[in-house]
Structure 1
Amino acid sequence: MLYVLVALFGMLGAVCRYLISVLIPNHGFPVATLLINLVGCFLLAVIMKYLARLPKFSPMLITAMGTGFVGSFTTFSTFSVESIQMIEKQWYGFAALYIVISLIGGLLASRLGFYLSDRWMARKEAPHVH
């Protein structure tokens, strides 16, 4: 069953990635890939830090969402190829900007996902006063 869920979520992630790349065409600077990877970093952090702690999400579903959806949604290989293509065109500034934003932005997006997950969990666990 896990393989089926990972495959289904993988198909969904791949389709979402494709749709974003169609909606945001690449005109030299790979905005779509950058956005996809930053959103993926945030989503994976929320899945692993928040959703995984909720009883209604089984470990199998967490794996399917993380590995299947986020794994097929994000793309390190495209990031790498696009970086090299910009370097080969001697667009060194754009290449450096893309690499720095991708790396630092990915870490910041993950950190934001962790931070918000902790806030949401604290709010969920706080006693409700009426």
Structure 2
Amino acid sequence: MYQLIAIASGGAAGALFRFWISSGVHNLLGRGFPYGTLLVNVLGSLAMGFLYVLLLERTTVSPEWRGALLIGFLGAFTTFSTFSIETLNLLEQAEVLKAGLNVLLSVVACILACWFGLVVGRQL
């Protein structure tokens, strides 16, 4: 039961952080390109790589904390569904280049960020 509460709490926090960051980025850069979603997905991938090493390989952390951070917080913070709908919206607006750029940047940047998080975490 504690693990479920921890995951739910982490999810609530992750969703709020995603909203705040995405909204802030949209206010700064506009909505012509899904910069906010790209940023949270790259940051979340970096955090996943780093925290995976930290919480599973370097420290002894309770299953509740691991679940709260990796499943709850990062699960709600990052979002593939928003990436998908924003890409489809760009395609429907005949913004094929922007849609392709979003797919390329999202996939490559997120994988590189996760790898970088693993590398940094293992250097500690």
- SS of aligned partner of 1:50: helix
Deviation for aligned residue 1:110: 0.6
1:61 matches 2:65? yes
1:104 maps to which residue?
108
Q: Distance in 1 between matches of 2:84 and 2:31?
A: 17
Counterpart mapping for 1:85-100 below 5 A: 85-100=89-104
1:18 maps to which residue?
19
Letter paired with 1:97: L
1:128 maps to which residue?
none
Deviation for aligned residue 1:56: 4.4
- SS of aligned partner of 1:109: helix
Q: CA RMSD in A?
A: 1.1
1:38 maps to which residue?
42
With normalisation by structure 1, the TM-score equals 0.87
1:4 maps to which residue?
5
Q: Indicate if the aligned counterparts of 1:52 and 1:59 stay in contact, CA closer than 8 A.
A: no
Unaligned runs of 5+ in 1: 121-130
1:119 matches 2:120? no
Greater per-residue helix proportion? 2
1:75 maps to which residue?
79
Q: Percent identity?
A: 32
Which structure's CA Rg is the greater one? 1
With normalisation by structure 2, the TM-score equals 0.91
